[in-house]
Amino acid sequence: MTKENGKKEGYRCNRKRCTAAKTSRLNGTMFSGSNLLYGTIVLLAYLFLLGVFFGGVVTASGTCIQTVAHWFRIFRRVIVEDIEVFGWSSLSPYSSYLIGGPGIIVEIDESKFGKRTHNRGHRVEGMWVVGGVERTKEHRFFAVPVSDRNETTMREIIKKYVHPESILYTDMWKAYTKPGQECVAGHWTVNHKKWYVDPKTGVHTNTIEGTWNGMKLFIARKRYSKVGIFESLVECAWRRKNHGRIWDAFWEAVKNADFQSFTHSPEEDQRRVFEREILKEVKSLTREEEREKRKRNEEEWRETKRQKREEEERKEREAKQKKEAKETRLEAMRAHARLVALGLAPMPPLLRNSAPRTPVSAPPPPPAPPVIRPFQTLPTARPLPRGSNVSRKSALPPLPPPPPPPSLPHT
């Protein structure tokens, strides 16, 4: 290989048959195949590790948002590869992917990333994430997106990420019962319907609940997809693993990462151009499909809105017709009443008594008992003249005869 004239890091093959082949000293590194200055890439990495949002990164670096998104994807892939290769610690006496240990408490819980607030707003397809954190100084944790939360899924996750001699703290979700008995040394639960900390045993899952809160504040809502949420969760674990030395740990991960090698030649360049064109066509087709899907959704929404509006108009029209018919009947009754009052129209027949008639064969009802009114005054005797020989009893009015006995029906 001979150093290429005018190229700082460029080299070309000096054989006669390979004079077109070119390469670079940075081939196979993170900087290969990029037209950006090295200082700009380092600045993007620094802003990424600081957690600056896209708008601030675009303003500070002077690049476009597509370039920032491209390099942020590369940085996340470096972090994911570092966690997949080395786990939490390559010097751990246990497996580098397991958390917990003999007598160490591990809290496990599940949380929904991406959901509607108070069940209002547009529909949101969120992701369920199962995670666990150990009660140690390092607070090592794991977080895995899952499609369901059944017993089989929980058993696989506990076997893969939790040390078998750990003590498990969970809530009373039924999917934890059998895996907690089979996969770990001990399992304690807390009833969240009654309290957050069990007053008798002191069991709680507040540590993992606080971890969920911090992760949801760090991860942007637009990354709540199946692919984006996984990379973001791994990034959170990597940041906690390397807390206090993120800058050095990042460049160590870059050093250990594998990047694609580029060798410039007419054939390779033509192949890359062809692949780039195919990728561009696929992206355009994907955009067209998304545009068509969005258009169909908008048409369905308009059709639903139109049907709902027509239904409301029909109900209002029926209510208006009923009201007009009622007013018409009332007006006709008032006009007829005025004509009856003037003697120009016959009076309508009275309504018949709707009470059922007594059949002829039925026995006559018994006589009603005498009505005794409250505070009824008894008849008083008329005053007698002085010297009269009439007794006082004869001066009283005669009593009414007693009522006849009730007649019994003929058998």
Q: What is the pLDDT of residues 347-384, one digit of tens each?
A: 777 656 555 555 556 667 777 776 655 555 555 555 55
More confidently predicted of 357 and 112: 112
Farthest CA pair distance, the chain = 175
Region 221-242: mean pLDDT is 83
Q: Answer yes or no: is 382 within a domain.
A: no
Q: Are residues 68 and 165 in the same domain?
A: no
Phi-psi bin for 29: left (phi > 0), alpha (psi -120 to 50), beta? beta
pLDDT at site 3: 57
| Same domain, yes or no: 255 and 271 | no
Final residue belonging to a domain, choices 205, 240, 264:
264
Of 6-20, 69-83, 206-220, give the lowest mean pLDDT range. 6-20
Q: Select from 312, 342, 372 the last residue of a domain.
A: 342
The pLDDT, as a whole number, for residue 92 is: 47
Residues 120 and 177 in one domain: yes
In a domain, 69, yes or no: yes
Paired with 93 in beta bridges are none
With respect to residue 351, please indicate whether it lies within any of the assigned structural domains.
no
Same structural domain, 102 and 210? yes
Q: What is the mean pLDDT of residues 237-263?
A: 84
- Report yes or no: 164 and 184 within 8 Å, Cβ to Cβ: yes
Question: How many domains does one find in the chain?
Answer: 3
Inter-residue contact 223 to 210 (CB < 8 Å): no
Two structure tokens written together for 166: 């750990």
Mean pLDDT of the 288-293 span: 87
Contact yes or no for 373/334 (Cβ under 8 A): no
| Whether residues 205 and 108 fall in one domain | yes
Asked if the structure places residue 8 within a domain, the reply is yes
Check residue 384 and give its pLDDT. 55
Give tens-digit pLDDT for 304-361. 899 999 999 999 999 999 999 999 999 998 988 888 888 888 877 765 655 555 555 6
Same domain? For 104 and 199 the reply is: yes
Sheet strands side by side (includes 105-113): 141-146, 127-134, 105-113, 167-171, 186-190
Whether 66 and 135 share a structural domain: no
Q: Confirm whether 403 is domain-assigned.
A: no
Write down the pLDDT at residue 380.
Answer: 54
Using the predicted structure, report yes or no on whether residue 228 has a pLDDT greater than 90: no
pLDDT of residue 385: 58
Same domain? For 122 and 132 the reply is: yes
Pick the closest to residue 232 from 334, 114, 354, 360 (CA basis): 114
pLDDT at 91: 47
Q: Region of 321 please: left (phi>0), alpha (psi -120 to 50) or beta.
A: alpha
Query: What's the confidence (pLDDT) of residue 84?
Result: 82
Percentage above 90 pLDDT, the chain: 19
* Distance separating alpha carbons of residues 198 and 202, to the nearest angstrom: 5
Is residue 398 predicted with pLDDT exceeding 80?
A: no
Q: Who's near 81: CB < 8 A, 6+ residues apart?
A: 253, 256, 257, 258
Say what the pLDDT of residue 23 is.
59
Which of 95-104, 197-206, 207-216, 256-265 shows the lowest per-residue confidence on average (mean pLDDT)? Answer: 256-265
Amino acid 200 reads K
Residue 402 lies in a domain: no
Same domain, 246 and 272: no
| 383 within some domain | no
Dist CA 253 CA 9 (whole Å) = 23
pLDDT (average), residues 383-411: 59
**All residues at 6 or more sequence positions from 176 whose CB lies less than 8 Å from its CB, including other chains:** 108, 154, 168, 170, 187, 189
C-alpha span between 17 and 26 (Å, rounded): 24
pLDDT tens digits, residue range 63-103?
898 899 889 989 999 998 888 887 765 544 445 678 888 88
Long-range contacts of 318-324 (CB under 8 A, 24+ apart): none
Tell me whether residue 347 is in a domain.
no
Mean pLDDT of all residues in the chain? 79
- In DSSP terms, 142 is beta-bridged to 132
- Are residues 212 and 109 both part of a single domain? yes
Among residues 191, 221, 239, which one has the least CA distance to residue 112?
221
The CA distance from 363 to 53, in Å, is 98
Among the three residues 315, 342, 369, which one is the final residue of a domain in this structure? 342
Q: Would you say residue 185 has pLDDT above 80? A: yes
Q: Is residue 125's pLDDT more than 80?
A: no
The residues, any chain, with a CB within 8 Å of residue 109's CB and separated by 6 or more, are: 130, 131, 132, 170, 171, 205, 208, 209, 212
Q: What residue numbers bound the domain in which 115 lies?
A: 98-218
pLDDT band for position 33 (cuts 50, 70, 90): confident
Helix axes 38-50, 54-61, angle to 10 degrees: 150
Q: Are 154 and 176 in contact (CB under 8 A)?
A: yes
Q: What is the pLDDT of residue 323?
A: 94
Between CA 335 and CA 328 the distance in angstroms is 11
How high is the pLDDT of residue 93? 44
- Token pair of 288 as six digits: 């067209």
Residues 114 and 198 in one domain: yes
In this prediction, residues 185-204 reach a mean pLDDT of 89
Q: What is the pLDDT of residues 148-159, one digit of tens each?
A: 888 999 999 999
